Copies of this chain bind each other. A is one copy, B any other.
Amino acid sequence: MAGYQAINFRQKLDLIAEQWQPRVVAEMNDYQFKLVRLEGDFVWHDHKDTDETFIVLEGELRIDFRDGAVIVSAGEMFVVPRGIEHKPCAEREVKMLLVEPRGVPNTGDAGGARTAPNDVWI
């Protein structure tokens, strides 16, 4: 078989036209790896049933919590625990990899206009 092919983050990110639209690039068991470009402020939300992992590839992400914040820069990761309200913010564009179970919506339980289509592969 000659079908083994690595997933190149930069090449995949170049195919993503819109910010805040996560695109699935791989699955491991029932988890998905999603690339996303983002800039500006997102909405407050949480995920009641799952932790959520942010791995920053380019730029500097701030994640606000109700009682603090964390800066996640390129080459760093952070796991947001389940049920904790958070709001990602990026003064300049950030490119990152999300890891979370299949089927988790980007806005969690908050819903609203910023909710992106789920399970879209690139």
A residues in contact (CB < 8 Å) with B = 1-10, 25-29, 31, 33, 50-53, 55, 57, 63, 65, 67-73, 75-79, 82, 97, 99-101
Cβ contacts under 8 Å, A3 to chain B: 68
Q: How far is the CB of A50 from chain B (nearest CB, A)?
A: 6
Cβ contacts under 8 Å, A9 to chain B: 75-77
A50 and B77 within 8 A (CB): no
- Kindly state the separation between the CA atoms of A7 and B29 in the bound complex, as whole angstroms: 24
Given A26-B79, A28-B51, A28-B99; A68-B2 close (CB under 8 Å): yes
- The dominant DSSP class at the A interface is strand
B50 and A6 within 8 A (CB): no
- Number of identical monomers bound together in the oligomeric complex: 2
- Kindly state the separation between the CA atoms of A106 and B118 in the bound complex, as whole angstroms: 33
Given A28-B52, A29-B50; A69-B4 close (CB under 8 Å): yes
Cβ contacts under 8 Å, A97 to chain B: 55
- Kindly state the separation between the CA atoms of A35 and B1 in the bound complex, as whole angstroms: 29
- Kindly state the separation between the CA atoms of A75 and B101 in the bound complex, as whole angstroms: 22
B29 and A77 within 8 A (CB): no
B8 and A75 within 8 A (CB): yes
